[in-house]
Structure 1
Amino acid sequence: MSIVLFWDIISWVSLLGGGFFIITGSIGILRFPDFFTRLHPAGMTDTIGAALILFGLMVQAGPTQVSAKLGLILLFLFFTSPTATHAIAKAALRRKVWPVLDTDK
C-alpha cells in the first residue's frame, strides 16, 4: 500500500465520519423535545462533524497554504461554536424559555 493511498483513506474516513456526525446531529435537532436538548446536538455534533470534515480536507490538501488556512478555520470553529451555543442558551433562559422536565408531562 502506497503512502498516497494511506492518506486518501485517512482523508475519506474523516470526511465520511464528519458527514455522519452532521447528519446525526441534524436528526437529533428534529427529534428532541425542547430548545435546550435540541441545542446540545446542534452545538456538539455539528462542531465535531465540521472539525472532521476540515481535517479530511487538510489531509487532502497536503502540506500547503490551504491546509494552514483550514487549520485556522478549525481553530476559530473550536472557539466560536461552544461560545455561541452558551450565549444562545443564556439568552433563552433570560427570555424565560424553560426546559421540559419529566414532571411537565
Structure 2
Amino acid sequence: MSTAHTVIVAVLAGVGFVFSLSGALGILRMPDLYSRIQCSSKTITMGAVPALIALVVGEGIVSPYAARALIVGFLLLVVNPAASHALARAAYRAGVPMWPGAVRDEVADDE
C-alpha cells in the first residue's frame, strides 16, 4: 500500500473515530431519551461510514472486505434513520417524558 493510501485510510479512520467519540459523549451528556436518539443516530452513522470506507480503501476495491463493507455502509445509511425514528415514536407513544427544558412538543401541538 502506498503512502497516499495510508494517509487516506488514517484520515478516514480518524474522522470515523472522532464522530463515534462525539456520539458517545453526546449520549452521556444529553438530558432525555429523544435528544440521545437524535445524537446517537447521526453520529454513529457518520462514525461507521468513514471507517468502512477506510477499510475499502485499505484492502482494495476488489476484495471480500470491500463488498461487505459497502453493503454494511449502505444498510447503515438506510436503516439507521428509520430505526431511530421508530424508536423515538414508540417512546413517545409509551409516554416517555421529554426534558422539561424542551422548547415545545410539536407532536402534542398537532393533535
Distance 1:12 1:89 in 2: 34
Q: What code does the residue aligned with 2:89 have?
A: K
Distance 1:73 1:34 in 2: 29
Offset, 1:96: 1.1
- RMSD of aligned Cα (Å): 1.7
Which of 19, 22, 25 aligns to 1:21? It is 19
> Number of residue pairs matched?
102
Counterpart check, 1:95 vs 2:97? no
Report the structure, 1 or 2, having the larger helix content: 1
- In the superposition, relative to structure 1, how do residues 103 and 61 fare at CA in structure 2: closer, same or farther (>3 Å)? closer
Distance 1:9 1:80 in 2: 30
Identity %, equivalent residues: 30
Which of 54, 57, 69 aligns to 2:55? It is 57
2:85 — aligned with what?
86
1:11 — aligned with what?
9
- In the superposition, relative to structure 1, how do residues 13 and 103 fare at CA in structure 2: closer, same or farther (>3 Å)? closer
Structure 2 gaps, min length 5? 104-111
1:45 — aligned with what?
43
User: Structure 1 segments of 4 or more deviating over 3 A?
Assistant: none
The TM-score, its normalising length taken from structure 2, stands at: 0.85
Distance 1:68 1:38 in 2: 31
Q: What code does the residue aligned with 2:83 have?
A: A
- In the superposition, relative to structure 1, how do residues 69 and 98 fare at CA in structure 2: closer, same or farther (>3 Å)? same
Distance 1:46 1:94 in 2: 25
Offset, 1:102: 2.4
Distance 2:34 2:57 in 1: 35
1:76 — aligned with what?
75
The TM-score, its normalising length taken from structure 1, stands at: 0.89
